[in-house]
């Protein structure tokens, strides 16, 4: 099969291809390579064994559309402007696939795009584009294939988009290629493939202890427990009668978690299929194979489900990159430093030898992977804006260092905070069980982190970004069309 990515000059270096697989709402530990005791993902694990596993990879906004726009652009949400799930990727804003397309790559996007809920039309930067409106469905989604109009494609979502991706990869081409494959899984409402429906039937799942230990947490977290995004709420329709704080309610929670894990098993199958296709094409070792997600997910921690907050399960996500041209040896590499969604775009462009994006907030992690830790970030900031459609999380601004995290909740009107802030010493309390915000012994650390946050916000211009008014935590359910 011809890839044609070699220059006409004899002996010229072959440009690498890119295969970029992105899941939706997959937390960092939902992989066996991350130590999950029940969820086994051998195909994804294989990428890590043959490439780079990033143990501390984070999104800077834990919400689908803003995070995806950051991945494409290398910018914080306050800069690229996609601050909610209803905003399109801005026309004219450069992206790494668009830069690669202009540099001679053939580009494709297949699957869940999730920027612009009601738009399934092709987007700039891609020669081939397949997506759908809204969230899509686990079965029989209406896909718009390259602008031909929406038509139902029968079958399980993960299987359908994997076949489309493999078919596209196998076509004859004379250029290097970029394939981005967007899975629906493991986004709610979690529906495993039939063969995996009972994969975890024997595994007991309890509420996390932190769901009941909220004495030192802000009041909004306690109020959230009975909402759409709380453990006592409907659990994305897994619970019919709610709020339910009874002991028996854990059965619904267990069923939800089992289903969440089950959808990931099909994703792992898909990764294996793509891997084998690249092998058969003779392009595996010439392909930058990326596996990641857009944001994490709270599965009961601190009494919450869903994402949006700055707590670790919400912001920490998987990132694995397999590319022999990146790793200095044939041994697996584990990166401990904090890497961000902002770093994807500059890294892909550097590895492909393409022109860099200008004035981005991220940085290429190529040298970091190869052992040069100098000039790597020591801190970064997190931003999330209150949503009227999902009124269960306040505005969030925070800073995370290697060892500490400070987060607070601006009201949006320029006035003083109405919610208690949170301060965690992650080096000794990675689960964020003990909020240190009101302890005098840590007052100096709090002030230091506040100053760090202010400097980071000012440096990127995020301190001037408009913030919505926090209208409080509400109990009503979101409209069905946007769930």
pLDDT digits (tens, 9 = 90+) for 374-427: 999 999 999 999 999 999 999 999 999 999 999 999 999 999 999 999 999 999
Predicted local distance difference test score (pLDDT) of residue 12: 52
The percentage of the chain sitting over the pLDDT mark of 70, rounded to a whole number, equals: 97
- SS3 assignment, position 53: strand
- Residue 471 pLDDT greater than 70, yes or no: yes
Q: How far is CA 129 from CA 76, 87, 132, 264, 351, in A?
A: 25, 18, 10, 24, 24
The radius of gyration of the chain from alpha carbons, rounded to an integer in Å, stands at: 22
pLDDT in tens, 12-38: 568 999 999 999 999 999 999 999 999
| Cα 11 to Cα 351: distance, rounded to the nearest angstrom | 19
Contact residues for 42 (Cβ-Cβ < 8 A; gap 6+) = 32, 268, 272
Task: Please provide the DSSP assignment of 303-341 as one string.
Answer: GBEES-S-SHHHHEE-EEEE-TTTSSSSS-EEE-S-EEG
- ∠59-474-261 over CA atoms, to 5°? 45
Q: What is the pLDDT of residues 71-130, one digit of tens each?
A: 999 999 999 999 999 999 999 999 999 999 999 999 999 999 999 989 999 999 999 999
- Provide the pLDDT for residue 117: 86
How far is Cα 351 from Cα 96, in angstroms, rounded to an integer? Answer: 11
DSSP state of 477: P
Looking at residue 2, its pLDDT comes to: 37
Mean pLDDT, residues 195-202 taken together = 98
DSSP-derived pairing of the beta strands 396-401 and 128-131: unpaired
- Under DSSP, the state recorded for 354 is P
Spell out the residues 6+ positions from residue 45 whose beta carbon is closer than 8 angstroms to its own.
Answer: 31, 32, 33
Model's pTM, two decimal places?
0.96
**331-353 pLDDT, tens per residue?**
899 999 999 999 999 999 999 99
Q: Looking at residue 14, what is its pLDDT?
A: 84
With the CA atoms of 333, 335, 336 and 342 taken in that order, what torsion angle do they form, in degrees rounded to the nearest 10? -170
Q: Can you spell out the DSSP letters for 89-147?
A: PPTT---HHHHHHHTT-EEEEEE---SSTT--S--TT-SEEEE-STT--SEEEEEEETT
Q: Which of 436, 313, 460 has its CA nearest to residue 377?
A: 460
Take residue 154 and report the two structure tokens written for it: 């029968």
423 DSSP β-pair partners: 406
Count CB-CB contacts under 10 A for residue 480.
6
């Amino acid at each position: 099969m011809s890839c044609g990515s070699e220059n006409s000059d004899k002996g010229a270096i072959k440009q690498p291809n890119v295969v970029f697989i992105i899941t939706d709402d997959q937390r960092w530990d939902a992989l066996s390579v991350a130590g999950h005791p029940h969820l086994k993902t051998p195909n994804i694990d294989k990428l890590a064994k043959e490439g780079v596993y990033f143990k501390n990879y984070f999104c800077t906004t834990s919400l689908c559309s803003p995070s995806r726009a950051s991945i494409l652009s290398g910018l914080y949400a306050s800069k690229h402007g996609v601050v909610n799930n209803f905003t399109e990727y801005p026309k004219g804003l450069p992206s790494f696939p668009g830069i690669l397309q202009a540099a001679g790559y053939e580009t494709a996007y297949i699957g869940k795009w999730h920027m612009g809920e009601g738009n399934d039309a092709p987007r700039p930067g891609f020669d081939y584009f397949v997506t759908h409106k809204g969230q899509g469905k686990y079965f029989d989604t209406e896909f718009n294939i390259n602008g031909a109009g929406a038509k139902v494609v029968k079958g399980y979502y993960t299987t359908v988009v994997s076949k489309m991706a493999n078919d596209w990869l196998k076509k004859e081409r004379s250029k290097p290629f970029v394939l981005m494959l967007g899975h629906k899984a493991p986004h709610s409402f979690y529906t495993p493939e039939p063969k995996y429906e009972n994969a975890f039937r024997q595994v007991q799942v309890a509420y996390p202890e932190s769901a009941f230990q909220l004495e030192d947490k802000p009041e909004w977290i306690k109020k959230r427990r009975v909402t759409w995004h709380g453990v006592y709420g409907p659990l994305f329709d897994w619970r019919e009668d709610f709020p339910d704080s009874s002991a028996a309610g854990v059965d619904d929670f267990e069923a939800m978690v089992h289903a969440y894990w089950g959808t990931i098993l099909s994703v792992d199958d898909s990764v294996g299929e793509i891997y084998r296709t690249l092998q058969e094409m003779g392009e595996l070792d010439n392909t930058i194979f990326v596996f990641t997600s857009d944001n994490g997910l709270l599965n009961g921690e601190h009494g919450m489900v869903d994402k949006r907050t700055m707590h670790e399960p919400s912001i920490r996500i998987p990132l694995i990159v397999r590319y022999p041209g990146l790793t200095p040896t044939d041994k697996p590499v584990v990166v401990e430093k904090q890497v961000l969604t902002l770093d994807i775009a500059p890294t892909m462009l550097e590895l492909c030898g393409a022109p860099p994006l200008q004035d981005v907030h991220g940085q290429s992690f190529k040298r970091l992977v190869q052992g040069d830790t100098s000039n790597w970030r020591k801190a970064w900031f997190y931003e999330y804006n209150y949503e009227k459609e999902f009124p269960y999380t306040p505005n969030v601004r925070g800073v995370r260092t290697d060892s500490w995290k400070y987060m607070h909740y601006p009201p949006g009107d320029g006035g003083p905070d109405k919610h208690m802030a949170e301060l965690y010493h992650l080096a000794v309390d990675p689960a964020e069980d003990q909020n240190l915000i009101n302890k005098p012994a840590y007052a100096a650390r709090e002030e230091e982190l506040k100053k760090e946050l202010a400097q980071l916000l000012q440096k990127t211009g995020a301190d001037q970004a408009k913030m919505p008014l926090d209208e409080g935590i509400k109990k009503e359910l979101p409209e069905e069309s946007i769930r």
